[in-house]
């Protein structure tokens, strides 16, 4: 299993912190598609290219770069089931607390928000064969982020503690914290409940 982390040239520090908490081989993925006007990161669409990147073989994880894993990411394989094309944390619908996130990027609200921020991909599942660059480039981003190419029964579920949204959930028993509105490197988020955890790791990497 590999863990593919979203890469954005403007968010290198959070990528490095995320990578340092992951116990398996990692690789970055950048957006190879046309830019979009939704203010999202450079890896907004590239996560959907993971099955092709992995030659439609095996189970692999994608995560946004604002994750901090507390538990061994390999434990996600416990939820691998050949019935599913993807396995995700099925967050209940919620409204973002701010209009902007990270370094001033636009915040959006939609159904199944953040489901695609952590994906355990069954790359060999037949339903994922459609995910090729020309197809992805032609798709509406929200259509992909809501996994509309799949039937509902092809989407498995990971417990929410693997995608604990900082500032929205009680993350004291989290297995992975997702600093979804912004990592503590930004002044606005330096006083969030688990800011020290992230900042301590960042300082250690700087040393």
**What length is written for the chain?**
207
pLDDT for res 34: 47
Parse the chain into domains and list their residue ranges: 3-201
What is the spatial distance between Cα 7 and Cα 27, in angstroms, rounded to a whole number?
Answer: 9
Q: Which of 131, 140, 119 is nearest to 40 (CA)?
A: 140
pLDDT for res 96: 77
Please say whether the beta carbons of 1 and 61 come within 8 A: yes
Please say whether the beta carbons of 45 and 68 come within 8 A: no
pLDDT for res 94: 79
* Pair of tokens at residue 49: 């290219």
Domain 3-201 in this protein, CATH class: alpha beta
Residue-by-residue pLDDT tens, the chain, 207 positions = 999 999 988 899 999 999 999 999 999 987 655 454 444 667 889 999 999 999 999 999 999 999 999 999 999 999 999 999 999 999 998 777 666 555 455 557 789 999 999 999 999 999 999 999 999 989 999 999 999 999 999 999 999 999 999 999 999 999 999 999 999 999 989 999 999 999 999 999 999
Q: Is 191 exposed, middle or buried (0-12, 13-18, 19+ CB in 10 A)?
A: exposed
pLDDT for res 107: 58
* Pair of tokens at residue 135: 């197809």
* Pair of tokens at residue 122: 């069954």
pLDDT for res 101: 55
What single-letter DSSP state applies at residue 157?
Answer: E
pLDDT for res 106: 57
DSSP letters of 84-105? Answer: -SEEE--PPP---S-SEETTTE
What is the spatial distance between Cα 83 and Cα 87, in angstroms, rounded to a whole number?
Answer: 10
pLDDT for res 174: 97
């Amino acid at each position: 299993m590999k863990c593919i982390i979203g890469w954005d040239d403007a968010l290198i520090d959070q990528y490095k912190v995320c990578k340092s908490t992951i116990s398996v081989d990692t690789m970055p993925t950048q957006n190879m598609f046309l830019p979009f006007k939704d203010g999202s990161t450079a890896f907004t669409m590239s996560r959907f290219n993971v099955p092709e990147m992995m030659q439609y073989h095996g189970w692999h994880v994608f995560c946004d770069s604002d994750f901090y894993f507390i538990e061994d990411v390999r434990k996600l394989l416990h939820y691998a089931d050949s019935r599913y094309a993807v396995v995700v944390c099925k967050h209940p619908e919620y409204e973002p607390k701010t209009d902007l996130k990270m370094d001033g990027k636009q915040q959006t609200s939609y159904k199944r928000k953040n489901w695609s921020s952590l994906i355990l991909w069954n790359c060999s599942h037949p339903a994922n064969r459609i995910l090729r660059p020309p197809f992805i480039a032609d798709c509406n981003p929200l259509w992909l982020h809501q996994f509309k190419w799949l039937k509902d029964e092809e989407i498995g579920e990971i417990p929410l503690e693997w995608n604990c949204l900082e500032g929205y959930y009680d993350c004291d028993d989290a297995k992975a914290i997702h600093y979804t509105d912004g990592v503590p490197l930004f002044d606005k988020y330096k006083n969030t409940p688990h800011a020290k955890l992230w900042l301590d790791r960042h300082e250690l990497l700087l040393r």
